[in-house]
A = this chain, B = another copy of it.
Amino acid sequence: MTMRHSYDQELEHLRQSLLDMGKAVGGAIEDAVISLARQDLELARRVMDFDDQIDQMEVDIEDKCMVLIARQQPIARDLRIIGTGLKITTDLERMGDHAYDIAKITLSMANQPLIKPLVDIPRMAQMSQRMLKDALEAYTALDIPLAEQVCLNDDEVDHIYHQVFRELLTYMMEDPKTITQATQLIFVARYLERIADHATNIAEWTIYLVTGQRRRKK
C-alpha cells in the first residue's frame, strides 16, 4: 500500500467521522424538538445525556485532524480538507449544544400546558435538519450547487424565525400569563435559526474547500 493510498484512506475516515457526527447531531435536534412538542421529559433527558457523546465525537475528530497534520505534511487541497474538518466539527458541536438547550427548555416547561400547538417551530426544525443533511452531502460529494442551495434556504429559516418572534410577542401582549413560556419558545426559535446558520457555515466551508474562496460566516 502506498503512503498516498493510506493517506487517502485516512482522509476518507475523517470524512466518515464527520458524517457520523452530523447524523448524531441531526438526531439530537429532531428528538429535542419532539420532546418539546410532546412535552416528553424522558426524551428531553436522553437528548441532554447524549450531548456528552457529541462532544466526544468533536474531540476525536480534532485529534484525528491533529494526527493527520503531524504525520503527513499536507498542502493545498489536503490541508484545506483537514482545516475545514476542524471548522465543521466546531459547527456540528454548537448545533448539538443547541439541541441540548432546547431539551433543557422542555424540562423547564414541565407540567405547563403549551400556550399553543407548535407548528412553525417543528417546521423550522425540519428545515434546519434538512439543511444539515444537504450541507454534509454537499461536503462529501463536493457539490457546489447543493451547497449554494443550503445558503439560499437559510433566508427562509430567518424569515420564519422573525415571524415566530413577532407572533410570540403578540401572545405575550395579549395575555401576560403566557410571558414565561413564550420567552422560552422565542429562545427555541432562535436556537433553530442558529442551527440553520451553522448548516450554512458547513455549506460555505464546502465552497471554500472546492474553490479556495471564502465567504462571510454566520
Contacts and interface: CB of A to CB of B under 8 A. Distances in A.
Contact of A176 (B87, B176, B186, B218): B176
A3 interface: no
A101 to B, nearest CB: 11
A42 B176 CA distance: 34
Interface string A72-88: 01110001100100110
A183 interface: yes
Contacts of A111: none
A204 interface: no
B75 A70 contact: yes
A210 interface: no
Q: Give the bracket for the number of chain A residues in contact with chain B.
A: 20 to 34
A87 B217 CA distance: 15
A169 B176 CA distance: 10
Contacts of A186: 183
Looking at chain A's contact residues, is the secondary structure mostly helix, strand, loop, or mixed? helix
Given A169-B180, A179-B173, A179-B179, A74 B69 contact: yes
B62 A69 contact: no
A89 to B, nearest CB: 10
A59 interface: yes
A214 interface: yes
A70 B74 contact: yes
Contacts of A217: 55, 93
Contacts of A216: 52, 55
A36 to B, nearest CB: 18
A17 interface: no
